[in-house]
Amino acid sequence: MNTPSRRAFLASSFAAFLAGRSTAGDPYAPFDRLMATFLVENKVPGAALAVARNGAIVYSRAFGYADRDACEVATPASLFRIASLSKPVTAVAILQLVEKGKLALDDKVLDRMPLKPLLALGAKVDERWKRITIRQCLQHTGGWDRNKSYDPIVKAWEIAKAFDMQPPVTPEHIVRYMMGQPLDFDPGARYAYSNLGYLILGRIIESITGQSYESYVKERVFAPIGISTAKLGRALLEHRAKNEVRYTDSRNGTGKCLYPPKLGETVPTVYGAMNLEAYEAHGGWIATAEEMAKFADAFHDPKRCPLLNAASIATMAARPAGNTEEAYYALGWLVRAAGTGLNHWHTGYIPGSEAILVRRFDGLSWCALFNTNDTPDRKSLSGRIDPLIHNAADAVNWG
């Protein structure tokens, strides 16, 4: 008699677990069916989906495994790396400081960020740095194009060498290094997605508030809306936070570890070979799906938003000057006209995790988080599930 392998056993147990999630008469069964099918078809170990409406979480469930090898089941309390869902969080922190009169969106970043550039011998600062504004960092028009040059978040070893130090490097190291590098285009000339711009915003938040970026966001952005477990993530598996999922890189990437005590050793990308702890303001948070859905929902009623006033919320969604695209990047959010209003969304992707956050025109918000990356055919999980969640939401009788 053949004995089933551990992998086959886990797969069958996983399918059975998912199949048992839906309950007859459950008004939110369309979400259950979607997630159960999606995880099996796309070989996702674990996920969470939360939906908010009218100031309340109406659906919050987890599927599959927080840790597949340990057969640890995911729960709504499971924390996931949210990657670039961190950007709208950082944008809100900046807009709060603008509301208080401590910043202006068109302030020059060099006037608000007292850092010295790291310059090679004989090199000079690109004069265009003096023209970069806070607004341009928020809108990804600051002058950096990772497709033309590179994304400094993946250059930790090179940056550490330039500082004559061992990794890991901090966000401040990355920003100071890049202040000594030429821009890829004139500030404001065009859009090019940039993680660096958001690291700069993190440095400005620290400079203006006198707090660490993390402490300010926890106190001023998360606490007022009841978010208590979100925090900046750690790189190594042994530093995994309580209730944090275990990540699986679908591409099985490896690299040299950036963190002691394994510095320089070959490790999985998801646990030490990417400089995760310096992702911070552009992509470093871990959170639950429920917390992020709650964050998005906070802006549906501008008159009652505990984070920003109505004018700031309108500014956050405003189309950048000169942009005529159907979908555009505003201040921390992608925006598109839909129905009787606007849809706002952001996705996140790093090895081992993907995320999507949506604030829909009709008052619904949702967040889906995964502890792996990519579909079996190497497509984005977030991109594939996005229309399916819209369809599931449309199938619910909201009364």
The one catalytic residue in 5, 12, 60, 84 is 84
Residues 172 and 150 in one domain: yes
Can you tell me the mean pLDDT for 326-337? 98
Among candidate residues 221, 255, 270, the one where a domain is terminated: 221
- The gap from C-alpha 38 to its chain's centroid, in whole angstroms, comes to 21
pLDDT in tens, 216-245: 999 999 999 999 999 999 999 999 999 999
Judge contact between 208 and 148, C-beta under 8 A.
Answer: no
What is the 3-class SS of the chain, one letter each residue? CCCCCHHHHHHHHHHHHHHCCCCCCCCCHHHHHHHHHHHHHCCCCEEEEEEEECCEEEEEEEEEEEECCCCEECCCCCEEECHHHHHHHHHHHHHHHHHCCCCCCCCEHHHHCCCCCCCCCCCCCCHHHHHCEHHHHHHCCCCCCCCCCCCHHHCHHHHHHHCCCCCCCCHHHHHHHHHCCCCCCCCCCCCCCCHHHHHHHHHHHHHHHCCCHHHHHHHHHHHHHCCCCCEECCCCHHHCCCCECCCECCCCCEEECCCCCCCCCEEEHHHCCCCHHHCHHHHCEEECHHHHHHHHHCCCCCCCCCCCCHHHHHHHHCCCCCCCCCEEECCCCEEEEECCEEEEEEEEEECCEEEEEEECCCCEEEEEEECECCCCCCCCHHHHHHHHHHHHHHHCCCC
Question: In this structure, is residue 341 part of a structural domain?
Answer: yes
Q: Does one domain contain both 99 and 46?
A: no
Q: Does 121 score more than 90 pLDDT?
A: no
Q: 125 and 196 share a domain?
A: yes
Q: Is residue 229 part of a domain?
A: no
Q: What is the pLDDT confidence band of residue 25, given thresholds at 50, 70 and 90?
A: confident
The pLDDT tens digits for 357-399 are 999 999 999 999 999 999 999 999 999 999 999 999 999 999 7
Peptide linkage before 152 cis (omega within 30 of 0): no
Strands 231-232 and 327-329, how do they pair?
A: unpaired
In a domain, 14, yes or no: yes
User: Does any domain span residue 29?
Assistant: yes
Residues 167 and 193 in one domain: yes
Report whether 73 contacts 48 (CB < 8 A): no
Residues 21 and 123 in one domain: no
321 domain-assigned:
yes
d(C-alpha 273, C-alpha 169), whole Å: 12
pLDDT of residue 353: 98
What are the Cα distances from residue 399, in Å, to 49, 159, 394, 395, 396? 21, 55, 12, 12, 9
pLDDT at 13: 45
Domain stops at, among 192, 221, 250? 221
Question: Would 238 be classed as within a structural domain?
Answer: no
Average the pLDDT over 210-220 and give the result.
98
Residue 280, in any domain of the structure: no
pLDDT in tens, 63-94: 999 999 999 999 999 999 999 999 999 999 99
Asked, for residue 265, whether it belongs to a domain, the answer is no
35-46 pLDDT, tens digit each:
999 999 999 999
Cα–Cα distance, 72 to 3 (Å, whole number):
23
Examine the domain organization and report whether 292 and 364 are in the same domain. Answer: yes
Verify that 96 and 187 share a domain, yes or no.
yes
Domain identity same for 44 and 140: no
Q: Are residues 116 and 71 in the same domain?
A: no
Output the pTM of the full model: 0.94
Q: Which domain holds residue 150?
A: 88-221
In the chain, the number of structural domains is 2
84: annotated active-site residue? yes
The answer to whether residues 320 and 302 belong to one domain is yes
Q: Are residues 195 and 74 in the same domain?
A: no
CATH number where 71 lies: 3.40.710.10
**29 and 66, same structural domain?**
yes
Last residue in a domain, options 221, 251, 267: 221
Q: Which two tokens stand for residue 9?
A: 């056993």
